[in-house]
Homo-oligomer: A and B are copies of this chain.
């Protein structure tokens, strides 16, 4: 039986040669990968940029996530930050550090996931540069770019009293998926690949929401065009992120528990859905649905009562130190 190729076995150049052809091209690249830098088109004289890193342990378990999931989620979470500005994603650069004894198929799978997420969520967006390195801790750092097409960026600070509060995308599904994985895919205290695979059969949508989310990327531009006054990407849960939008705008967000759904929808992170506010009377675009109203005051109210639960996740305070 032959062993799979490892990164150490074939080296950096051969690894790059196997990854490159899998990566999607960007419609905005004037000079793509291969020189010291890429050169990107920025048609309206500005560009949007965001960066986010995924780390083995605090951010994912290799027993649960496939390499394809990792690439997909790394792309999707960054694309959502671009969408939340009201921009069209144009490109990614990707730095990956992996243990030298990793199979080459790990990086091939990550590349395939990056490609498939771009194709599915943001067609025209591609990978224009990157860096491969070695590390004891598998790490994926993505920086994403977007184009505003002459519109102003939709900031967190523009919500006004009387605006409609709306959300596009799932609420609480990523947290529910993570809860299921911890409940049913841990064996003898360790994340278990077979149990996670079984969960994908019985609870496909919730597991996918956690491991390979599909945020409503194109709804970011639709919201901007419809006149959204403020917007952000729900990475730390609706309650905490709504509080951020409220604080930045100097208002309060009054939400309806019926419209929001479950408690997990309020507190669960990593949905990467879009929270936006619109002037009253706006026909809500795309997948947006009303969940509340902007009122005077501060913080977040649910059914008229201040909602104080902290929510979110602090990597320094809360990571157990386990990987798996």
Contact = CB atoms under 8 A, between A and B. Distances in A.
Contact of A46 (B39, B133, B137): B39
Contact of A49 (B7, B129, B233): B129
Contacts of A76: none
Contact of A134 (B11, B36, B144, B315): B315
A166 interface: no
Interface string A32-58: 000111111111111111111101011
Contacts of A133: 53, 55, 58-59, 315
A136 B321 CA distance: 8
Contacts of A156: 35-36
A232 interface: yes
A52 B131 contact: yes
A132 interface: yes
Given A137-B139, A141-B141, A46 B40 contact: yes
Interface of A: 7-8, 10-13, 15, 30-31, 35-53, 55, 57-59, 80-82, 84-85, 87, 91, 93-95, 97, 100, 128-137, 139, 141, 143-146, 148, 153, 155-156, 231-233, 314-317, 319, 321
12 contacts: A10-B316, A36-B156, A37-B85, A39-B49, A49-B91, A51-B130, A53-B141, A55-B134, A57-B135, A93-B143, A100-B319, A137-B139
